[in-house]
Amino acid sequence: MRLLDELFPLVEGFYVDLHKNPELSHAEYRTASGVAEWLTRTGYEVHKGVGGTGVVGLLRNGPGPTVMLRADMDALPVEEKTGLPYASTTRTTDEDGHEVPVMHACGHDAHTACLVGAADLLSETREEWSGTVMIVAQPGEESLDGAQRMLDDGLYERFGRPDVILGQHLGPQPAGLISHRAGVILGSSASYRIRVHGEGGHASQPHTTVDPVLIAANIVTRLQGVVSREISPSEMAVLTVGRIQAGTKANIIPEEAYLEINTRALNEVVAARLETAIERIVRAEAAASGAVREPEVERFQGAGVTRNDPDTVNAVAAAHRAYFGDTYVIHLPDPSPATEDFGYLGLPDDPRPIPYVYWFVGATPHDVWEAAPGGTPYEKMGNVPSNHSPFFAPAREPALRAGLAALTVAALSYLGRDRQEALEPAPSGAMFPGPVPDDVPIPIPSTDLGGAHEAPAPPADPLGPPSGDRRQPTEHNEAYDSAFLASSWDEPEPADSTHDADMGVLFQSQDEELREEWRNEKVEESTLSADMAAFLEDDEPRRPPAGPAFGGPPPQGSAHHAPPPGPDDDRPGSDYRH
């Protein structure tokens, strides 16, 4: 824990600084400078201004795979209402010239802080691994175009094509919990601008006009039938008309109406069906009202699904489980309908796409989680302040510590994975051909992230306050000390839905004895630190748990009894909105 503990106050300080000084998409100048400065200081070759405000850092450390770590840097036009001592009061002018409040309401400040922290840890431990670390701080995730802009600016041509890409995002799960999902983890999104042209006139003479307000109203109503009537009940789809504007005055029939529509889906076929239906209905409604001029339908923003490579997920999840312990790493039964542009970095249309893993890091303070209404984790997730909420207040320490360790461990699981393999040139496209074999140890260097040479290992509590923190940003919050995932929910009732069952079993599967101790507040350290200490004390690197962590029935006696993901009959009440 030595290095991680030494570094953590700096990461935390950087996070607080970013949180206080959020910047909108593609205006991440100050943030990018902070990232570049940190990377330069810790020995990276740094390139700024990639795709706008993007930053790329390279640490070439001998032969081996190129592992890319990506974080997003942008904030949102939201007025912060968390009441945190380091809450943002920033206001700025947006692209349209409007003054808007700005807040890191999606946790990208945490992603960025964990990114530079992981970069630093990897640099400090470079004697222990071989390969290349590629750090990518991306602008404009919320606008879903930052990744593409970096690619268009020659990200891979100029700096090399990675063998694997790692990314993470804060979510409304209990703070510190790592959630993985093989296959699709995030849905696709598309936004459309619709302009309907009528013929204006006096409100008293409607028969001399073509009323675009009525056309727009009919479009809104008719679109509600798309998901319910045109999409299979077994598929997830969302279609929302989020903006509608027309007219200036009650007694004037306007010339035109304007709508903006957003869709979500978990596969390209459904996304295409939604798009076709929008186009058809808009044109048909305009024609039905006798509009002379064709309406305009323009797609202006979107991103495809985020589809984790299953083998790569297995490898990273195994490393996370070996490091954090089984209790802290779960498999998400269902994808989130939220959207990212992270998937573009994997070159989905390339004949040889780059495998990637994207996971969630829980951010909800444990007291908030405990107090949230709901009998199941999914209900609770829907009732805690989540991403894009003005009340989104991540539990600073556990979320940052988990994010920092998760990114570092995942990177090391590739960089130090098999020295022999790393020393030989990678056969193209087959660097990571399959799940981690049982006999390959995960080579977390036992000397680097911790104090294996400083026996006994310090009983540092990763959920406790940072020690020697010269940049302690706030007073300590007791909530962060509460037992990890304190389990106040009772035995699950007979489940109403498969989600309740899946998640109930997942969460209930924690060791009953440990839960009892938590209830009685006997546990002074979280098992996380215990696991870390044990991990780092081992002379032998820890092996990943045997057997498939995901995608099939777990071995008997495993903590995880959840069935493999079922059909998409119901979706979590996740509140991500990008």
| Token digits of residue 1 | 């824990």
Residue 76 CB neighbours (<10 A): 24
Active-site annotation holds for 74: yes
Q: Which is nearer to Zn ion, 391 or 489 (CB)?
A: 391
Q: Which is nearer to Zn ion, 303 or 412 (CB)?
A: 303
Is 578 an interacting residue with respect to Zn ion (CB under 5 A)?
Answer: yes
Q: Which is nearer to Zn ion, 271 or 338 (CB)?
A: 338
Q: Which is nearer to Zn ion, 107 or 451 (CB)?
A: 107
Please provide residue 171's backbone torsions phi and psi, each rounded to the nearest 5 degrees.
-145, 175
Least CB distance from residue 302 to Zn ion, whole Å?
Answer: 15
Distance of CA 212 to the CA centre of its chain: 40
Give the contact letters, 519-558, x = binds to Zn ion (CB under 5 A), - = no: ----------------------------------------
Least CB distance from residue 576 to Zn ion, whole Å?
Answer: 6
Identify each DSSP E strand in 175-325 by its residue range.
178-180, 183-186, 188-197, 201-202, 237-246, 252-253, 256-265, 296-303, 306-308
The catalytically annotated residue of 74, 109, 142, 502 is 74
Query: Which H or E run includes 325?
Result: none
Give the contact letters, 48-87, x = binds to Zn ion (CB under 5 A), - = no: ----------------------------------------
Q: Which stretch binds Zn ion (CB under 5 A): 101-109, 261-269, 372-380, 560-568?
A: 101-109
Tell me, what amino acid is at 228? S
- Residues 6 or more apart whose CB falls under 8 angstroms from that of 523 comprise 483, 514, 517
Q: What is the rounded distance in angstroms from the CA atom of residue 448 to the CA atom of residue 463?
A: 20
Is 106 an interacting residue with respect to Zn ion (CB under 5 A)?
Answer: yes
Q: Which is nearer to Zn ion, 68 or 106 (CB)?
A: 106
Least CB distance from residue 105 to Zn ion, whole Å?
Answer: 7
Q: Which stretch binds Zn ion (CB under 5 A): 15-23, 127-135, 494-502, 570-578?
A: 570-578
The catalytically annotated residue of 109, 120, 128, 141 is 141
Least CB distance from residue 141 to Zn ion, whole Å?
Answer: 6
CA angle (68, 69, 70) in 5-degree steps: 115
Helix axes 310-324, 396-415, angle to 10 degrees: 120
User: For residue 577, how many C-alpha atoms fall within 13 Å in the half-sphere facing its CB?
Assistant: 17
- Residues 6 or more apart whose CB falls under 8 angstroms from that of 295 comprise 194, 195, 196, 197, 215, 282, 283, 286
Least CB distance from residue 387 to Zn ion, whole Å?
Answer: 5
Pairing outcome for strands 164-174 and 306-308: unpaired
Nearest residue to Zn ion, using CB?
106
Q: Which stretch binds Zn ion (CB under 5 A): 102-110, 285-293, 374-382, 428-436?
A: 102-110
Q: Which is nearer to Zn ion, 56 or 106 (CB)?
A: 106
Q: Indicate if the alpha-carbon torsion angle 59, 60, 64, 68 is positive or negative.
A: positive
| Number of residues lying near Zn ion (CB under 5 A) | 2
Whether the link from the prior residue into 394 is cis, omega within 30° of 0, is: no
Count of residues in the chain: 578
Least CB distance from residue 176 to Zn ion, whole Å?
Answer: 18
Q: Which stretch binds Zn ion (CB under 5 A): 98-106, 344-352, 423-431, 450-458?
A: 98-106
Q: Which residues are catalytic?
A: 74, 141
Footprint of Zn ion (CB under 5 A): 106, 578
